Each structure stands twice: as structure tokens, then as C-alpha cells.
Chain A
Amino acid sequence: MTMRVDLPEETLAGVLAKAFGNRSFLIGFAITLLVAAVAILSFIWTPYDVTRLVIADKTQAPSPAHWFGTDHFGRDILSMIMVGARNSIAVALVAVGIGMGVGVPLGAFAAARGSLADEALMRVNDLVFAFPALLSAIMITAIFGPGAVNAIIAIGIFNIPVFARVARAGALAIWPREFILAARAAGKGMTQISVEHILPNIATLLLVQGTIQFALGILAEAGLSYVGLGAQPPMPSWGRMLFDAQTRMVTAPWMAIFPGMAIVITVLGLNLLGDGIADILDPKSRRRR
């Protein structure tokens, strides 16, 4: 007898039911939602104006007036973290967008064409991959000057080979399947098959990689801002805040602790979310957590 374990039905209701039973997804989703909400809130309201310097209030410890304390210019750290979230999310989102937008078509094309085109594309890919995100970012900002936009582009370029690889690997596993052969027998071309059959079947893979790259993007932005190549003052950024806190670690530890916590929690939330999505959408996953 063929032991054919049928895949569970992938209806929306089924996926939702699974989502609510998945702890890492729920926690990750809650954290991500919180961070996003804080970022949106910062557009209309922050406890204090982050561009106004109040020297009299400088480096105050956390208190009812300033929950997370103030920095060396007397700015409220909670407000800065809120505005910084906006910056971090924007950078990471656009960077993932660039990576997906360019990388996925490249990877899908390489998988569809095979042979020489595949080889050439993937070797160029390796070349880009060989430069760490930070290094390529430094290179780009060195040429075009520092700033949030250039940081986004730099991180985005780093993302391209990542998505190209994932897309290619996923697509290569789909291409030899019989339903692709059936589509070819129906006269569909490479592009049409890639869009209609390949992409929907590797979407899960890309989504999960997307959340991972999103988290890495936030880290990269923090890193770039830390070395002064990201968002420029007075625009607050988590990485910049850490940089400013560096020399005051002993006298004003809150200046480092809270932005650091913001980064850790956001990245953790995104990783849990990605893990959760992978579990939920993978019909074969029997992992319990």
C-alpha cells in the first residue's frame, strides 16, 4: 500500500487555527505589532519633542517624567526610541523590498534558464555576497556620502544575493516536478511558468527569509548608524543612540540599555515571527514548541 500522507488542507481557516496554536508565531507577531504601533504612534505623538535640546535636563536617570531617562542633550530617550523605531522599520522594509524585488527575479531567472546564465548570475552573486553588509555599506556611503537613503540602498544591495540564492534553490526544486512539465506541454513559456507556478510555490520560503532579512536589516542599520554612516542627527536612530551612550556607560547606563533593549526585542520578535510562519505554512512540520 502506498503510504500517502495527504497534506492538511491549506484553507485560510486552517492556517489561522494553526497560527493561534503556534506560540512562537503569537509572541513574534505581538512584538512586531507593538513595534510597528509604536513607530506609527511616533508620527502623531511622542512624550517629548526629540529635536529640542534641554541642557538643564541632561543625563537624567529614569523617572516618572522621563521613563527611560534623558540623554546628554536632555532629550527624552523614550521619545527617541519611538522615533527611532520608525527609522529602523523604514530602512529594513525598503532594504528587504530591494533585495526581494531584484534578487527573486534574478534567482528565478537563473533557475529557469540554467546552464550558462545560471552560472554567470550566481558567480556575480557570490562576488556581492563576499562583502559583508557593513563593508558594502561603508563602500557605498563612502562614495555617495552618509545618510539614511544610502544606508537603505547599501543594505538592500546586500540583500539581493541572499534572496537570489533562496529563490533559485527553491525554484530548482520545483522545476523538475511534473506539473511544470504539464505547463510546458501546454505551451507556457519560462516567464509565465515562473510567475504562475514557481513563485507561489516558493512564497513561503521567501516570506520566512524576508523576516530574517528584516531583522538583519534593523541590525545593519543600527550598525551603520553606530559608525556614523546611517541616519544623520538630529534624526534619532537606535544605532546612533548606542554610539552616543558608549562613553557614558558608567555614568548613564540607561542611555545604552533602552535602545539596546529595543533592538534585541525587535529582532527577537521578528525571528520568532519568521520561525512561526515557517512552522505554520510547512505542512510537514510536526515540531512542537
Chain B
Amino acid sequence: MSLLEIENLSLAIGETPILKDVDLAIAPSEVVGLVGESGSGKSMTALTVMRLLPHLARTNGRVTFDGIDILGASEDQMCALRGDDIGMVFQEPMTALNPVKTIGEQVAEGIRWHTKAGRAEAEERARKMLDRVGLPEAKFPLSRYPHELSGGQRQRVVIAIACALKPKLLIADEPTTALDVVLQAQILDLLRDLVAENRMGLLLISHDLAVVTEMADRLTILRRGEVMGAGDTARTLSDQFHPYTRELALASMHVPARPKTHLAGSAKPLLEVESVSRDYPGRRKSLFRPAEPIRAVNDVSLTIEPAQSVALVGRSGCGKSTLARMILALDKPTAGAIRFRGETITGKAEAELKPARRDMQVVFQDPYGSFDPRQKVEKLVAEPLHLLEKQPARAERREMVAHALDEVGLGPSDMDKYPHEFSGGQRQRLSIARAIITRPKLVVADEPVSALDVSIRAQILDLFAELNQKLGIAYLFITHDLTVARAMSDEVLVMHEGKIVERGRTADVLDNPRSEAAQALVSAAPDLHRAIARRLQEQG
């Protein structure tokens, strides 16, 4: 018998239909993946099961959990279910914990509320649970606060809270999206073990097909609130019965065409980074001793040649972004020198940097945060034009903006819109338009596609590749996603704890990683091909 059964579920918020006739079932100790792009209704399905929908939501259909009619249950019944029989893990470990309470209090809270256990007993159980999720007492006493933990550790606490009462069903909404691949693999392992131990049902919500394939026994694919395909994971994906399933699978494995690859050593370097280090002031341990500085970037050297595409990969916090900022002259190195087109840019005044800045632009990760919400596209995209020797007249400027928009696949009419009128993928196009408007020689892209859906991701990667081929722009891709590195770069640099530990041609490094850090990254990276093959093999 199914643990959770969703039948013909329809949901509308106000006048907007969100879900249409969704069916889904989960049996005990089964992992079901719910896949779809943003706005497809994945999270809304989860919130319906928890009955945590916004006020204006109207539901239709049937949701039964363990014999209880969820849609008809009273709020008191739901309160008893939530956190006891149904646990939930959210995407953002940074905000899912209450910053003013210790982790012990937060894990014990649910135990005390639902079991009416005393403080001592609840804390003892909380302790056991934290041990179980890999936060041992010696290093992580109950009295730790969330801010003292890293992202992966916080997600472990969130999982401990959700699983403390051995729920029959765990809903995990993008539990690893905010984490790097190595942490992701660890968290997925933990979830898999917990499912096996407690005969728990797991509803795993993700936009990442590879992750879901590795984890789920069955999967359901959602698109615009409708089920596009459902069934056994391996079969659904290998048969690709539904065109949308095929589309999704292809998009997640997409490799843009780059006929002209660039081999190192064929030209004079465009960018040279020479034993650059960056220290940040550390925490003072004593009043009388000076604080030990923290070395974020440690003696890094690299070169990029014109039209070459280089990927800088590494786990979060390894110093990738700090290095990027120094290359962009937004941050000053503690030691070392950075040369762009043969000229040293470190330590130069802002006015002298103008020519260098003109040829060096940046694309950021978050397409939502990288635009001033109060300005129109024309002004936003034209921002780097300010670097030109001669300021273009208004008409000429509009012309240039229109041209840049055209190059990234947007129309001239988009010029008079505000950023919020665009979708995430379109905003990333705007971001690229802004970066190429001055015809730069180098574009630094900091996780440019990690916030995007797979199909949009494929389009943006194509766009990057096209601009590289057409305009000969060199790239420095900063990413923790090896598929991006593989798809886009000629050369890969692996960074670990501030140092570059491995470098070489992309295929060489990713196929035969030699350093420990690179091996960890490669083995942890989810791979759709591999996952499907393994699934099929398991089934014989």
C-alpha cells in the first residue's frame, strides 16, 4: 500500500492555475524523484502535502497520507503530522535555521513538541540524531549556533530536525542545490542511508536529472503543473517515451559546438597572473597577539591566451571568487602581480585602469541580483560604455545597446523594460550583453549558469560558445560544476584551499584526475549517463 497517494490534484492560487491533475504515489522506503524546471509546480506539490500553501490557494483532488485525507484534515491534525510523520528539508541551509537558537534547541524542539518528552530526554535524542547525521559531539556540541557551521553542516542539522522523529515520509526540496558537488554527494549518501534505516518514504524534489537518477527508484516529471512522464527512473529516462523527457535529458547533457578549440602556447598571453596571494584578517584569538591572517588565495599563477577558454573549478570556499575579483581589479592582492595585455594592473589607480576594464568584463552567477532593479535595460546594458574614451551620443548608444541585445538573442524593444520583466535566463542574457558591449577580450564568468534551469542553461552555454567562436572572446569560467567545465573549456585549473593543485587540458584532467582534490570533485559530480547505466545494470 502506498504511504502517500496524490490523485488528480489540481491547485490554483487566485486565478492562476498551478497544478493540473497531478498523480503521484510513494511507498514506504521508496525514493520518488520529482523533476521539473522552475515554476513547474514541484515545490507547490510538496507544500500541498504539508498543507502549507498560501492563503488564496484552492485545491481539488485527493491527497491521502497513511490513511488520512490531507486536504480535508483539520489544522490541528496537520500540526500533529508535520514534523512528526512528515518531515521536510528545504533548499537554503543558510536561512532554514533560526540564527538565535542553538542547534541542540532546534533539533530538540520538535521532539519535545510532538512527544511531550522532557528537556533532558529530548536533548539526549537530539544528540543521537546529530551523531547520526555526522555531527559528532566532540566537534559539534548541542550548544553550537548555526553561524558556526558551514553550509553542508547546516544542511545536516536541517536533516536531523526533519528526521528526528523518524518520519514516515521525508520531503526534500532541492536539498543539495546550494551546496558544492562534494557536499552534495555526502548529503545524498546520508539521505539514502536514512531511507534504508527507517523504511522512510522520500520525495526528492530537484531540477537536476542526474541527482534524481542517482537517488530515485521512480520519478515524476512535471512541466507547467502537469505530469509529463512518470515511472521507473531508468526506464523513463532510457526510453525517453515523452518528448519533454528527452528534451530535459538532452539539455542536461548538452555540450555546445565549439569547432575551434584553442591550445595553450599558441599565442602571446592575454592575462598573466603571477604568484598572487590574498590574505584576509583573521579572528583575534587573544587581545595581545595579532590576529593570524587567513590566506584565501595562495601563490596562484595562471595565464590565459586570446580566445582561450579556461575553467577554474573547485569546491565552494576554495578561493575561486576571490581570485576572480583580483583579476577584475575589484580587490587588491596581498602579494604577486596580475598583467593584462602585458600591462600590470595591480595597484593601479582607477583612472589608469579604464583601458584594461574596457577589455575585461564580468558575468555573475545570480541573474536576479546583478541588475539594479530601478534602472531600465538600456542604462544597465550601456553601463560599461562609460569606459570608452569618447562617450557615444544617445542615439549611438541606443544603437550599440540594440546591437548587443541582438547578439544575445534579445530584441531592441527590450531596451525600455525593467529587469524584473525578464525571466532568469533572459536576465543572464542581459548580463552577457552588458559584458560584451565594449567588445572585451576577456570575460570572467562566475558560476554563470548554476542558477538556471537545464534547458536555459543549455541555451546560455551555446551563447557563450558562439560568442567565443564569433568574437574571439577568451573566458575564465569559475564553477564547481564539472559538466560546465567539460562543455566549455579548453583548459581546466583545479583549485583547492587557495592553491591551484592541478592544471591541464580539460579532457585530460577530468578523465584522469591526479590530485586528490580533482579526484574528489570528479567522483562526486553527478553524471546522467553513468547514473542511468548503473540503474539499468542494477535491474539486470
A interface with B by C-beta (< 8 Å): 1-4, 6-7, 9-10, 177-179, 181-189, 192, 196-197, 200-201
A-B contacts, CB under 8 A, total? 90
Once bound together, how far apart are the Cα atoms of A270 and B299, in whole Å?
A: 59
Min CB distance A241 to B, Å, is 44
Once bound together, how far apart are the Cα atoms of A10 and B417, in whole Å?
A: 11
Q: Is the CB of B368 within 8 A of A4?
A: yes
Chain B residue numbers with a CB within 8 Å of A182 are 362, 364, 370-371, 383, 431, 434
Of the four ranges (under 10, 10 to 19, 20 to 34, 35 or more), the interface on chain B belongs to 35 or more
Residue of A nearest to B91 (CB): A2
Interface mask (B416-457 → A, CB under 8 Å = 1, otherwise 0): 001011001000000100100000000000000001000000
Indicate whether B330 reaches chain A with its CB closer than 8 angstroms. Answer: yes
Min CB distance A12 to B, Å, is 12
B interface with A by C-beta (< 8 Å): 36-40, 42-43, 91, 173-174, 177, 205, 207, 328, 330, 350, 353-354, 357-358, 360-362, 364-366, 368-375, 380, 383-384, 386-387, 418, 420-421, 424, 431, 434, 451
Min CB distance A172 to B, Å, is 16
Given contacts A1-B38, A1-B40, contact A179 B386 (CB under 8 A): no
Chain A residue numbers with a CB within 8 Å of B205 are 1
Known: A182-B362, A201-B372. 11 other contacts (CB 8 A): A1-B43, A3-B43, A10-B420, A178-B364, A178-B365, A179-B369, A182-B370, A182-B371, A183-B383, A187-B353, A187-B387
Instruction: Specify which of A2, A183, A197, A200 lies most central, judged by the most chain B CB atoms within 10 Å of its CB.
Output: A2
Given contacts A182-B434, A185-B357, contact A4 B350 (CB under 8 A): no
Min CB distance B40 to A, Å, is 7
Chain A residue numbers with a CB within 8 Å of B364 are 178, 181-182
Q: Is the CB of B387 within 8 A of A186?
A: yes
Q: Is the CB of A178 within 8 A of B43?
A: no
Chain B residue numbers with a CB within 8 Å of A200 are 372, 374-375
Once bound together, how far apart are the Cα atoms of A6 and B422, in whole Å?
A: 10
Residue of B nearest to A203 (CB): B374
Q: Is the CB of A187 within 8 A of B328?
A: no
Residue of B nearest to A177 (CB): B369
Q: Is the CB of A178 within 8 A of B366?
A: yes
Min CB distance A179 to B, Å, is 5
Q: Is the CB of B420 within 8 A of A179?
A: no
Chain A residue numbers with a CB within 8 Å of B39 are 1
Once bound together, how far apart are the Cα atoms of A177 and B372, in whole Å?
A: 9
Name the one of A184, A187, A197 contacting B372, with C-beta atoms under 8 angstroms.
Answer: A197
12 contacts between A and B (CB under 8 A): A1-B37, A3-B91, A177-B369, A179-B370, A182-B371, A185-B361, A186-B386, A186-B434, A187-B387, A196-B372, A200-B375, A201-B372
Chain B residue numbers with a CB within 8 Å of A177 are 369
Min CB distance B247 to A, Å, is 18
Min CB distance B298 to A, Å, is 23
Chain B residue numbers with a CB within 8 Å of A6 are 420
